[in-house]
Amino acid sequence: MKTLEVDLGNRSYPIHIGTDLIDRPELFNACEKATSIFIVTNTTVAPLYAERLTRTLEKLGKQVKTIVLPDGESYKDWKNLQLIFDNLLKFAADRQTILVALGGGVIGDMTGFAAASYMRGVRFIQVPTTLLAQVDSSVGGKTGINHPLGKNMIGAFHQPVAVIADLNTLKTLPARELSAGLAEVIKHGAIADADFLDWIEANTSALLACDTTAMAYAVLRSCEIKSSVVSADEKEGGIRATLNFGHTFGHAIEAGMGYGEWLHGEAVGCGMVMGANLSCRLNYITQKEVSRLTQIIGSMHLPTQPPPFGAQRYMELMQVDKKTEGGQIRYVILEKMGKAIIQSVPDGQVIETLTATGAHQ
Amino acid sequence: MKTLEVDLGNRSYPIHIGTDLIDRPELFNACEKATSIFIVTNTTVAPLYAERLTRTLEKLGKQVKTIVLPDGESYKDWKNLQLIFDNLLKFAADRQTILVALGGGVIGDMTGFAAASYMRGVRFIQVPTTLLAQVDSSVGGKTGINHPLGKNMIGAFHQPVAVIADLNTLKTLPARELSAGLAEVIKHGAIADADFLDWIEANTSALLACDTTAMAYAVLRSCEIKSSVVSADEKEGGIRATLNFGHTFGHAIEAGMGYGEWLHGEAVGCGMVMGANLSCRLNYITQKEVSRLTQIIGSMHLPTQPPPFGAQRYMELMQVDKKTEGGQIRYVILEKMGKAIIQSVPDGQVIETLTATGAHQ
């Protein structure tokens, strides 16, 4: 097991990465002072791991209840958040209750926002069971739900007290979800570490086969990159926004298709192709680098071809995305492979990218 | 105009208290960098002040929109919070948008929670137009909405960037709401300043008549007391809970009657009578002091007689109240007039208080 610390002063927390971690009660020692523990999970993950995790937590001498939500991005809404609150209140959860998010990014985001808002804030632990959640969404404290008019529009910054990434849970992951997670792994290389990107390119097969050694490194390095960025800029005043590479286009794809049609990671994978195209158009990276990144993304079985909504629809969808400020969209651009910057871009060049990538036909 | 500063490090903010403040654009200088301003108000307050406030804010060169919610505690729910989000998204509010809460405690709590959650946090200004909001709810950063199973169960700590208490807005307040606000004024005396309680007792008529000089002092001293407590304990780990004197019983009354039947301040007034009875029962204050406090509360036309739900129902309602920890209810007790402490109390003595005050018949 490897442990790395996210350094956020009195909100610091450990990320544990290894195999069979959900059987180890000592990793959940934050629960020692909890009055009760609520596992929040979904209908897919519950049959696989909820009982094992319950047994582990009960070894701490605590009462453990499980709240099971439907599975999928389309359920990341107020209605299902309410289901969490209803259960917490029904079973008299108090301010010393701890929530445990057992599942992917949707479960982590919703549980985190429930923890942020229940009685104005209780603690929570992330037990991410998808690659996407292990390398991205469980780290950094962004929580929230979707609004019909935009993704993650309602939420809070609320840091977990621990992240426990059990690599064995990835073995049961459908291939499509594994690929979606690899999109964020590639992103970390592209924005922050060219050597890591080389390593990813050289280990494509091992990663797609969910090889434990390869996966352990991919998760660890991703968490290191993400947590160092988050430590420097917890609430996304500046550098943290570079983690959104591929996300402005990706969110437009997700919203335009209807949440849940494309997996978040698939949309980000395709969004990175578009972001790379734009970076090249702005004379930062070369066409060859765009092709190479596109090839890496494609080799992970991720889509590289955006849906052809047309330029106007993309611009509308991106306008409502939360990274707009004063009407100006800020794009994450690759200054070079392994380094991202943020800037606004004239609509004309964005439309050229939409046309060149087939988003506008 | 008097200005006092709530000292919370980089979340510090001023409270301005005076007359005709909503006409003074310079008090809203926090809006200078805002991309847009949304006034959130209700159907009662909007016709009185929304246009005047809009004119003031437009002087800052900003686009101002107004969101009007229905008026009343029973509307402090998710559905109306959604109305705020719907409007913010519809009109492309971004992270640099500022919300302005124009109204009483319900508007302030909902607007504050909307600001805390919209895009994971935007800034907001409190313009409290009720006495209750001016002396209590607009200061301290507690925001939230009600859940059918409990009051303020869903929310956040989110500090405003300014509080602008215009005493003239109190002139249009119905007598019943003025009295409800005076309950919290009395509370500040009871828990923190015996001299202030003497002053309140001596100025009952002036306060009930909404005399500007008397009211200015009542608001200022209340804000001073509340903000010093909040500065010492922003997230209610300890001393801040003393501000809940009368609230454990009061919330039970509000929930038991159905939100909106009793005004919050009325329930707190009556709750303080019950809290004083309990404090006497625990040998802290004398029966004479209980009678005096009851008399001050009654002289402000506040109820001093709890609804007779019966002891069991009260205990159930209080159990779900958010101040319970590990099943144990923590009560705010007057150690003496002008000083409150927090402790758990055996159910037997609470039931004696419920019986003695007529809550259990």
Three-class HEC string of B43-87:
CCCHHHHHHHHHHHHHCCCCCEEEEEECCCHHHCCHHHHHHHHHH
| Interchain CB contacts (distance < 8 Å): A and B | 101
CB spacing of B235 vs A320 below 8 angstroms: no
A positions 258-277 inside 8 Å of B (CB): none
The closest CB to that of A120, out of B35, B85, B157, belongs to: B157
Residue intervals of chain B classified under CATH 3.40.50.1970 are 2-172
| Cα(B264)–Cα(B267) distance, integer angstroms | 5
Average pLDDT rounded to a whole number, residues B291-320: 95
Instruction: Say if residues A225 and A192 touch (Cβ distance below 8 Å).
Output: yes
- Contact (CB<8Å) B149/A90: yes
Nearest CA in chain A to B79: A78
| A contacts of B151 (beta carbons < 8 Å) | none
Average pLDDT over residues B238-264: 91
Q: Which residues of chain A have pLDDT under 70?
A: 321-327
pLDDT of B327 strictly over 80: no
The DSSP bridge partners found for residue A102 are A127
| From-to residues of CATH 1.20.1090.10 in chain A | 176-356
Whole-number pLDDT of residue A324: 60
CATH class of the domain whose range is A176-356: mainly alpha
CB contact under 8 A, A92 and B320: yes
**Residue B306, pLDDT score:** 97
pLDDT value of position A149: 83
- Give the pair of three-digit tokens for residue A341: 């910057």
Q: What pLDDT, on a 0 to 100 scale, did the predictor assign at position B277?
A: 98
Interface of B with A in 275-314 (CB under 8 A): none
What was the ipTM of the complex prediction? Answer: 0.90
Cα-based distances in Å from A269 to A205, A231, A274, A313: 18, 25, 9, 20
CA distance B1 to B168: 12
Is the per-residue pLDDT at B321 higher than 90?
A: no
Domain formed by B2-172, architecture: 3-Layer(aba) Sandwich (3.40)
CB nearest B120 (choices: A155, A319, A325): A155
Cα separation values, B223 from B3, B182, B193, B231, Å: 10, 13, 13, 12
The yes-or-no answer on residue B264 being catalytic is yes
Q: Examine the pLDDT at B200 and tell me if it is beyond 80.
A: yes
Per residue in B137-176, pLDDT (tens digit) is 999 999 999 998 888 899 999 999 999 999 999 999 999 9
Q: Cα B234 to chain center, whole Å? A: 15
Q: Which residues is A150 bridged to in the sheet?
A: A147
> Dihedral, CA atoms, B16, B21, B22, B23, nearest 10 degrees?
-140
User: Where are the domain boundaries for CATH 1.20.1090.10 in chain B?
Assistant: 187-356
A9 and chain B in contact, CB less than 8 A:
no
Check CB contact of A112 with chain B, cutoff 8 Å. Answer: no
CB B139 within 8 A of CB B189: no
Residues in chain A with CB shorter than 8 Å from the CB of B120 are: 142-144, 152, 155-157, 235
pLDDT (0 to 100) of residue B110: 98
Active-site position among B123, B188, B221, B226: B226
Catalytic, B236? Answer yes
Helix (H) or strand (E) segment spanning residue B137: none
Active-site residue, A32 included: no
Give the dihedral sign, CA B29/B30/B36/B39.
negative
How close A116 comes to chain B (CA, Å)? 7
Task: State in words which class domain B187-356 has.
Answer: mainly alpha
Which residues in chain A are closer than 8 Å to B90, comparing Cβ atoms?
Answer: 149
Q: Which of A247, A254, A277, A281 is catalytic?
A: A247
pLDDT recorded at residue A361: 80
Query: Residue B328: which pLDDT band, with cuts at 50, 70 and 90?
Result: confident
